Chain A
Amino acid sequence: MIQYKKIELEQEFLVSEGHSLKKAGFIDESQFRLIDKNLTVLKSQKNILIRIGFFLLGSFLYSSICGFLTLISLDSMNENYQFLVYLFAIIGFVGTEVLTNQKYYGYGLDDAFLLGSQLCLAIAIGISSEGNELTISLILSITSLLCYLRYVQLSMAILFCVTLTCSILFLMFELGAFAKTMLPFTMMFFAIVIYFSSKKLFARLTLPFYCNGIIFTQAFALILFYLSGNYMVVRELSSELMGVIVTANNDIPFAIFFYGFTFIVPVSYLVLSLFKKDRFMLWIGILALCFSIYTIRFYYALLPVEIALTIGGLALFAFTFFAIKKIKNNINGVTFQPDRFSHGNLFGTAEILMATQLGLKPETTVESPMEFGNGDFSGGGSGGSY
């Protein structure tokens, strides 16, 4: 079933462990070079920029092959053009097989063919089934799961989670009005089921290379659980799907429950994550809390945006200041000491990049010489439209 040999994938995991040991300063460069030289069999690309570059090149190659095929079959083509799209999908799968046979594993090229084939397959099924979303997402969830098990690529795990959720969603749409009313609760239940089943799966997992996919599935379940009860999502969907009209003294059904949910869930994520030392949950909690603030601001603008930003900034600064003061010197557990195993340099780069957004802008447009500092930043739960 797996395209690569298990031992190769395990060695790949050992190399990445060696890399993080080197970054943490436990072993030196020459030791890591030795590990890398002896254990690396698969050709994979750790650098995200290079991987994206090869992904683009792979997409060019894939589309140029497809384009060439279209060009030569242009004359003989009639209304059966959908076979051509199926052919594109097959080319994608064949390309993936060829590349993975040559030991490419997450190099960018194989990603391009793998994702491209799934995309072509989705389009082809869409043409055959006249745009039936349920069929597309059901078939795609099966193919993406199979591809994940075979090629062990995180992108396929993501696609699997998304398509499976879409399948449930479209199934509920088909079932009628009552199912639509129950939609938030069904999705919550579904999220709980995937969370706990993936947790069980992880406990029994012995193959280290599958753990990324399972960890992602768990994170996905957390996000889905939050979104399925978020007030804004529920309200917008109920007006979209069932035509519920919200007036001043008439809110959506169970409104209080959803208001509570919108704030209790992120906070409990944050608290739980600190107890469980779960970084993914922490991040999801932070983002969810931001989205909750945005949700409330979207309907009830209690303060004008500039005051909200100023006060929010001050409050956040004060909170962080005291939090740092409190945990600064902890030598174990939750602490402000940098973790030797952390991957901090990505954020450093992102901060420098963000700063260019805030920088000065040229003065050629004389009528508005006021774009100092207050660039078009829109984050932290505030609307981006000012």
Chain B
Amino acid sequence: MSMKKFEEAATKSLLEKEFITPEQYDQVQAYRNLNLFSLHTELKLFLYASVLLFTSGIGILIYQNIDSIGHIAILALLFLITFFCFYFCFKNAIGFKKQQTQFENPIFDYLILAAVLLSCIFVGYLQFQYTVFGTHYGLATVVPTVIAFFCAYYFDNKSILSIAITGLAAYIGLSVSPQSLLHNDFNENNTLSYSAISLGISLVIWAIYSSNNDLKKHFSLVFLTFALHIISIACINNLFDSYWGIFIILLAGSCYYFYRTSYLIKSVSLFVFTLIYAYIGLNIFLFKLLEFSNIDSELFISFFFLVPFYFIGSIIYFIRLIKQFNKKASHDTI
């Protein structure tokens, strides 16, 4: 069962309405008649899953058996596997190019991911068992981060790039995986907010530098996405603090910047998240104003009357903003 009959009818109808040329119609028909059933996505997903399973398994295996199996044997085995992964990847790589590159066979994309994850485990194990870096815990984070950045740029791999960025964030004490980004202790720890915001700003600067110098331009979106989320969440968390005035200005500034950038690079996800953070910030700001103005309860009822209209107003405004954006950018699904 498939949509095929409807899709073919729709293509035909587009031809009849003269939106596509007969040649284009023939091309589409010829392609559909190949009757392809591509397992490209599925098999790549399997590769990804196998890498995750294997590295998780190895990771647990090593830390659970720290005292039972010979350390040297484990280290040697881990080193060997990592070495072979790297070896095959380097052998098959095209080499460093400033533009986007790709392995001929996508298997190597996942092999290099495995290699990077395994080297993270390797370095972590060295530190845990032998305290190679002594009490410089930061170094144990920096070394895998450097490896990851190198591999991300050399092999052109966005997954590894995001691992590298999490490493960078971990170095300043920040956890940036989606579900833990909200749980960082921004309130307890003011320096964390400042370092988070400066990390965000440096990511933005790096993204600007890269696109000016044509250095892996397609990585920009990853850098900018991390920067947007880190800066915005750090700012919003601090809006409940006593110094909230500075952070609302910072948030407004960053939202303005990302709003402009999302138009420039035509990224819907950047655009949407910028709007969301700006809207959250605005609502907190309005709430603070209400709190300061100290109105009595009689007037409060009328505020509830206004709330639906406030939402209708913001819906209309958002619809207008998105229409404007859609005129410039394309109909993408994410």
Known A57-B314, A309-B60; contact A13-B272, beta-carbon cutoff 8 A: no
B54 touches A309 (CB 8 A): yes
B44 within 8 Å of A (CB atoms): yes
B60 touches A305 (CB 8 A): yes
B28 within 8 Å of A (CB atoms): yes
B49 touches A380 (CB 8 A): yes
CB contact list, A335-376 vs B, under 8 A: 335-340, 342-349, 351-364, 366, 369-375
Q: How far is the CA of A148 from the CA of B166 in the complex (A)?
A: 44
B163 touches A370 (CB 8 A): no
B334 touches A363 (CB 8 A): no
B141 touches A316 (CB 8 A): no
A49 touches B272 (CB 8 A): yes
Write out the residue numbers on chain A whose beta carbons fall within 8 Å of the beta carbon of B269. 49
11 extra interface residue pairs, beta carbon distance < 8 Å, beyond A46-B333, A312-B50, A374-B55: A14-B17, A46-B332, A47-B331, A53-B276, A71-B301, A308-B57, A313-B55, A314-B54, A323-B39, A342-B40, A362-B172
User: Number of B residues whose C-beta is below 8 Å from A?
Assistant: 109
B140 touches A333 (CB 8 A): no
B305 touches A352 (CB 8 A): no
Q: In the complex, which residue of chain B has the Cβ closest to the Cβ of A366?
A: B137
B118 within 8 Å of A (CB atoms): yes
B120 within 8 Å of A (CB atoms): yes
Known A331-B34, A337-B36; contact A357-B177, beta-carbon cutoff 8 A: yes
B128 within 8 Å of A (CB atoms): yes
Q: How far is the CA of A360 from the CA of B125 in the complex (A)?
A: 13
Pick the interface stretch among A18-26, A76-84, A115-123, A155-163: A18-26
B117 touches A13 (CB 8 A): no
Q: How far is the CB of A311 from chain B (nearest CB, A)?
A: 8
Known A29-B330, A31-B19; contact A379-B52, beta-carbon cutoff 8 A: yes
Q: In the complex, which residue of chain A has the Cβ closest to the Cβ of B327?
A: A33
In the complex, 8 of the A-B residue pairs with CB atoms within 8 angstroms, ordered by the A residue number, are A48-B334, A208-B10, A320-B47, A356-B177, A356-B178, A358-B117, A370-B63, A374-B58
Q: In the complex, which residue of chain B has the Cβ closest to the Cβ of A283?
A: B42
Q: DSSP class of A's interface residues: helix, strand, loop or mixed?
A: helix
Interface residues of A (CB under 8 A from B): 13-14, 17-21, 24, 26-27, 29, 31-32, 34-36, 38, 46-50, 53-54, 57-58, 60-61, 64-65, 67-68, 71, 109, 199, 202, 208, 211, 215, 218, 274, 276-279, 282-283, 286, 305-317, 319-321, 323-324, 327, 331-340, 342-349, 351-364, 366, 369-375, 377, 379-380, 382, 386
Write out the residue numbers on chain A whose beta carbons fall within 8 Å of the beta carbon of B20. 21, 26-27, 31
Known A274-B37, A360-B144; contact A377-B166, beta-carbon cutoff 8 A: no
Q: In the complex, which residue of chain A has the Cβ closest to the Cβ of B34?
A: A332
Query: 1/0 contact trace for B114-138 toward A, CB 8 Å?
Result: 0001101101110110000000011
B41 touches A278 (CB 8 A): no
A317 touches B54 (CB 8 A): yes
Q: How far is the CB of A233 from chain B (nearest CB, A)?
A: 24
B48 within 8 Å of A (CB atoms): yes
